[in-house]
């Protein structure tokens, strides 16, 4: 029988962690769903095993260092949640545990360097663009740099797309049917800013006014999922203030960002902003869900040639937000389109925020498997709803020499509106 995790030791996060641990009956249904268990075959690298480890640590029966390698290997993909017959809210345990553990032990210099660089660049588009530009030059000197930086350099594209910006308000075309606020994202603004452009185009075509608040910042997901609670709270508070009240929804077009914003009540647990965060998170919605509920005012025109699209479920869309049907329905709304399913679709592609940097070998193995699954569909385009997944697919499809296009769901839809002859 689990004794309550002492609140005096672990603060406001103790209660949700306790509830998550107590819900687990150790049945093992999560094992088949867990990518790291499939990769490593070790009980301690499964959700059930990690729950036991975290329980022992939080009760003071096991030291932090003993559990941390296994906890670090968790992708946070939450594939265990839909597989769990007991409804264990694993998300209420893994990120809070990392936040509590952050100050309990010291990582190696290399790990601190990699995490520090990503924390000080990725959430800030101007810094990230500069760092990415320098990183492409740094590839030349890769053999001379610390090994821990190599995975970071490997993920950088050969060419960065030009910078794009968006009006603070993009009016609806024709009769206005709704008004929304859009999270612009961080890495996405640098790696593929056209995703935001496509999102705004599709929304305004369908009668939606789009507000892009100037004062918004990073969703805080990178910080939250790596245990940097203070930074995650700062980002969350900034967005609570930045996003207006007079909109029908706050939209995200990156699964990881949407998932993080849905967890603001955990990020800000025990603070004066907790109630506001609880209210805020219920207004957050993925763009595919909003568009599907609203309904396309008019479908794209018929394409001159059939369009075969492989759809990849981003973990933080399918598992964290239970969004599976809506993106597929939007893609099927394109006349002449065929949406293909991937083998082992439930398995993570290995991106998972900073996971490529923290666990490059596991991430690379999962990425290659996902790329091969995409190729096996025979599709000409692969679509997904998360910039991390799209980057991972781009890297591994390129390594396999595949010409398959990598696009966000909104880009596929926008392109169908613009030119029916092109996918």
CATH assignment of the domain containing 90: 1.10.1060.10
CB atoms within 10 A of CB 27: 12
- Per the domain annotation, does 50 fall within a domain? yes
Q: Look up the CATH number of the domain holding residue 413.
A: 3.40.50.10700
C-alpha 157/C-alpha 391 separation (Å) is 9
pLDDT band at 221 (very low <50, low <70, confident <90, very high): very high
- Per the domain annotation, does 2 fall within a domain? no
The confidence score (pLDDT) of residue 409 equals: 98
pLDDT band at 5 (very low <50, low <70, confident <90, very high): low
The confidence score (pLDDT) of residue 4 equals: 52
CB 51 within 8 A of CB 30: no
- Per the domain annotation, does 122 fall within a domain? yes
Q: How far is CA 345 from CA 189, 324, 348, in A?
A: 27, 11, 8
Confidence check: pLDDT of 48 > 90 = yes
C-alpha 134/C-alpha 153 separation (Å) is 10
Q: Which is nearest to 78 in space by CA: 353, 407, 278, 333?
A: 353
What is the chain's percent helix, strand, coil content, to nearest 5? Answer: 55, 10, 40
DSSP codes of every residue in 117-173: HHHHHTTSHHHHHHHHHHHHHHGGGGGGS-GGGHHHHHTS-SSPPPP----SEEPPS
Residues 268-296: pLDDT tens digits? 999 999 999 999 999 999 999 999 999 99
- Which residue range forms the structural domain that includes residue 205? 169-292
Structure tokens, 391: 């980057």
Structure tokens, 254: 């990156």
Residues 90-145: pLDDT tens digits? 999 999 999 888 877 778 877 788 788 888 989 999 998 988 888 777 766 667 66
Residues 139-154: pLDDT tens digits? 666 676 677 777 777 7
Name the domain count of the chain: 4
Q: Look up the CATH number of the domain holding residue 259.
A: 3.40.50
């Amino acid at each position: 029988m689990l004794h309550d995790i002492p609140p005096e030791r672990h603060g406001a996060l103790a209660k949700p962690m306790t509830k998550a641990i107590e819900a687990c009956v150790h049945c093992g249904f999560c094992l088949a769903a867990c990518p790291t268990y499939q990769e490593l075959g070790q009980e301690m690298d499964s959700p059930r095993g990690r729950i036991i480890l975290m329980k022992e640590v939080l009760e003071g029966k096991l030291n932090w260092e003993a559990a941390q390698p296994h906890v670090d290997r968790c992708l946070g993909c939450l594939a265990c949640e839909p597989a769990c017959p007991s409804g264990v809210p694993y998300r209420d345990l893994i990120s809070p545990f990392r936040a509590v553990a952050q100050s309990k032990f010291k990582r190696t210099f290399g790990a601190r360097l990699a995490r520090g660089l990503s924390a000080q660049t990725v959430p800030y588009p101007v810094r990230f663009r500069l760092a990415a530009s320098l990183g492409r030059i740094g590839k030349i000197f890769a053999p001379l740099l610390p090994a821990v930086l190599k995975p970071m350099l490997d993920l950088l594209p050969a060419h960065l797309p030009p910078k794009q910006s968006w009006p603070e308000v993009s009016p609806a075309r024709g009769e206005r049917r709704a008004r929304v606020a859009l999270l612009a994202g961080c890495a996405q603004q640098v790696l593929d800013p056209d995703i935001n452009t496509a999102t705004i185009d599709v929304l305004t075509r369908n009668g939606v006014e789009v507000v892009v608040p100037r004062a918004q910042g990073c969703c805080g997901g990178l910080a939250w999922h790596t245990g940097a609670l203070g930074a995650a709270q700062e980002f969350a508070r900034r967005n609570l203030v930045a996003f207006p009240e007079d909109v029908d929804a706050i939209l995200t077009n990156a699964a990881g960002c949407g998932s993080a914003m849905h967890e603001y009540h955990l990020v800000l647990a025990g603070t004066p902003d907790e109630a506001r965060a609880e209210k805020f998170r219920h207004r957050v919605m993925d763009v595919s869900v909003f568009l599907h509920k609203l309904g396309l005012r008019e479908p794209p025109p018929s394409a001159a040639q059939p369009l075969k699209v492989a759809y990849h479920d981003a973990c933080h869309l399918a598992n964290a937000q239970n969004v599976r049907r809506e993106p597929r329905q939007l893609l099927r709304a394109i006349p002449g389109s065929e949406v293909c399913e991937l083998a082992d679709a439930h398995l993570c592609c290995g991106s998972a925020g900073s996971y490529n940097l923290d666990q490059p070998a596991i991430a690379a193995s999962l990425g290659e498997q996902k790329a091969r699954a995409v190729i096996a569909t025979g599709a000409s385009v692969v679509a997904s709803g998360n910039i991390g997944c799209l980057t991972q697919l781009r890297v591994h499809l390129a390594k396999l020499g595949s010409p398959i296009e990598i696009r966000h769901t909104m880009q596929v839809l926008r392109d169908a509106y613009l030119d029916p002859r092109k996918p």
